[in-house]
Amino acid sequence: MDLISSVYLDDESEFRKRYSLVLRSKKQQIYNTNIGYYELDEERKQVNQQALKTPGRRGESIKNEEIDKELCRRYKEHRKHDLFLGY
């Protein structure tokens, strides 16, 4: 692996770490209710809008991947909690 691709991968992994921390601070209802927060959904809408304005940028695809990971993490955590309580 050459130096340029190594720097690129390091930058991408650092971007992913920072963005995942931002996503963890956002609130989101896991199951659809009429009350609650939908900040992750709003973030995804903004990312998709930006992707339409500037297609082909890697940042928006990384952000969508990280939003998916965060939603999956929260869903699994919620399911584990429900199973523990016996729901």
pLDDT per position as a tens digit, 35-83: 668 899 999 999 999 999 988 889 999 999 999 999 999 888 888 877 7
pLDDT at residue 35, rounded to an integer: 60
Helices (H), 1-87: 3-24, 39-53, 58-85
Provide the residue ranges of all domains of the chain, joining segments of one domain with +: 3-85
Whose structure tokens read 């991947």? 65
pLDDT at 21 over 80: yes
The CA distances from residue 26 to 9, 54, 66, 85, in Å, are: 26, 25, 13, 25
Taking 60 as the threshold, does the pLDDT of residue 1 lie above it?
no
pLDDT-derived band at 87, boundaries 50, 70, 90: low
pLDDT at 34: 57
Which residue type occupies 31?
Y
